[in-house]
Amino acid sequence: MEHTQGSVHAIVEKQRAYFRTGATLDVGFRIEQLKKLRKAVLDHQKMLGEALYADLRKSPVEAYLCDIGPVIAEVDEILKGLRKWARPERHFSGLMCFPSTSTAVYKMPYGVSLIISPFNFPILLTLGVLAASISGGNTAVLKTSSKSAASTEALKKMIADTFPEEYVTVVDGGHDVADMCLSERFDKIFYTGSPAVAKHVLEMASKNLTSVALELGGETGNWCIVRKDADVRDAARKIAFFKLCNAGQICINVNQIAVAEEIAEPFLDELKKEFVRQIGERAEENPDYPKLITEKVYEKCERLTEQYRDRVIFGGTGSREEVKFSPTILYPVGIDEEIVRHELFCPLLPVVPFKDDAVETVLDVIAGREHPLSMYVFTADKKWAKRVMRTLQFGGGCINEVCIHMMVKGVPFNGTGHSGMGAYHGEWGFREFTHPQTVLTGRTRMNLPLREHPYSGKAGERKMKLLKWFER
């Protein structure tokens, strides 16, 4: 259906009325809904896989590895821990609150949530966030991407088959429909996408002081540093795998590499070999290689490749008909060139050479730009690597590895600054979709006049002594 402001408003009000019934507050109810979600994903797995192929040409293996399987894993982690996470915390009220002895912190749902998901992982980044919203006891309106139309249609069918509209529903459409949603009063907004659009989301949310979580790619992209003591074959193998995944359309992907001049030649040779080994001489001809989401992205790849044609050392070819562009290495690229100052979100891979003993200068440049979502370093010097990870500002990262930090159970996935705010996955997602509510239980007997007037004279002096003693 084509949505109007009126129809979107009706959906939100229907969900608000349902939330106020209190049905979602029961943890047993949430567990039941999460099990329904899990079953729905398994029952509709074929349809979801076909949709991912239609939108992004994802092979069945990549579709399960990156989109469908992680949703199941996310739901399983939540089911395992939800009862414990949702349990109220009990605290001793303290002497200052005597005669009260008991204070509880309840983990309360926000209410009606809006989840705005992107095109690149349209199943995972919709249903994974939905699982967190359900775990917190919220209702959810899912605004999916118009760019991944087949996945949106599959999600609409799956969600409609599984949940009533007043609990969870999918709203499709373009930016105009997204703005209709943002014009409504939601209690929680979770947006995944670009920093530019995130600013608009925050501005709209500020009108109602709505709590917002943002998962963004980062304004200046994610760096990977390969030092002279790195295992170049291992680094090349992992970076090649990651850049091929979803044709580079991943928010945590390597945007640019800084490689030590001392090992640049052997590293680049290994990187070329790995691209060929994993996908073939011309990736755009391999049916397992994903497509770009739109022709506009293809044209960007084509334009930048032509701009750097004299520095293309691998790739640089594509199929406009298939909307596929090969992984393309650009070398050498200066650290201040425009191409390494913005997130590319495509298969292009600029490589910046540096002298290994000047690596701290590279770190200073990275620190001076907007915070990335991810950071990767390859080196044998673990002490140096851990110092980098402890001192630079970014969402998450790996030492001698790529991307799989986001697959670890019990840890948050998040960004900072231009790469986002808030966190989710497992208990962190439960926390993101709940707010702590402190409630002290008072007593009707033995109440002391300590906090009451008078504050002067002998009574005031006694009260001051007691206050200082209680505060110790």
State how beta strands 374-378 and 396-399 pair.
parallel
- For the chain, give percent helix, strand, coil, nearest 5: 50, 20, 30
CATH number of the CATH domain containing 263: 3.40.309.10
115 and 28 belong to one structural domain: yes
Rounded Cα distance, 227 and 257, in Å: 11
378 and 447 belong to one structural domain: no
Is residue 471's pLDDT more than 80? no
43 and 16 belong to one structural domain: yes
259 and 177 belong to one structural domain: no
Average pLDDT (449-468) is 90
Give 41's contacts (C-beta < 8 A, 6+ positions apart): 48, 68, 71, 72, 75, 127, 158
198 and 268 belong to one structural domain: no
CB 129 within 8 A of CB 190: yes
23 and 169 belong to one structural domain: yes
Supply the pLDDT for residue 218.
Answer: 86
Q: How many folded domains does the chain comprise?
A: 3
DSSP string over 36-80 = HHHHHHHHTHHHHHHHHHHHH---HHHHIIIIIHHHHHHHHHHHH
388 and 425 belong to one structural domain: no
Catalogue the active-site residues.
215, 251
Complete edge-to-edge strand list for the sheet that includes strand 168-171: 168-171, 139-143, 112-116, 188-193, 211-216, 420-421
Supply the pLDDT for residue 461.
Answer: 92
User: Please, which pLDDT band fits residue 415 given cuts at 50, 70 and 90?
Assistant: very high
230 and 211 belong to one structural domain: no
Average pLDDT (303-317) is 98
Residues present in the chain in total: 472
76 and 12 belong to one structural domain: yes
CATH number of the CATH domain containing 429: 3.40.605.10
In the chain, the amino acid numbered 145 is S
Is residue 41's pLDDT more than 90? yes
Average pLDDT (36-53) is 98
pLDDT of 416-448, one tens digit each? Answer: 999 999 999 999 999 999 999 999 999 999 888
pLDDT of 259-268, one tens digit each? Answer: 999 999 999 9
CB 191 within 8 A of CB 420: no
Is residue 95's pLDDT more than 90? no
pLDDT of 372-388, one tens digit each? Answer: 999 999 999 999 999 99
Supply the pLDDT for residue 467.
Answer: 86
Supply the pLDDT for residue 34.
Answer: 98
230 and 85 belong to one structural domain: no
46 and 82 belong to one structural domain: yes
Whole-model pTM: value is 0.96
107 and 202 belong to one structural domain: yes
User: Please, which pLDDT band fits residue 450 given cuts at 50, 70 and 90?
Assistant: confident
Parent domain of 453: 442-470
Is residue 237's pLDDT more than 90? yes
Supply the pLDDT for residue 201.
Answer: 98
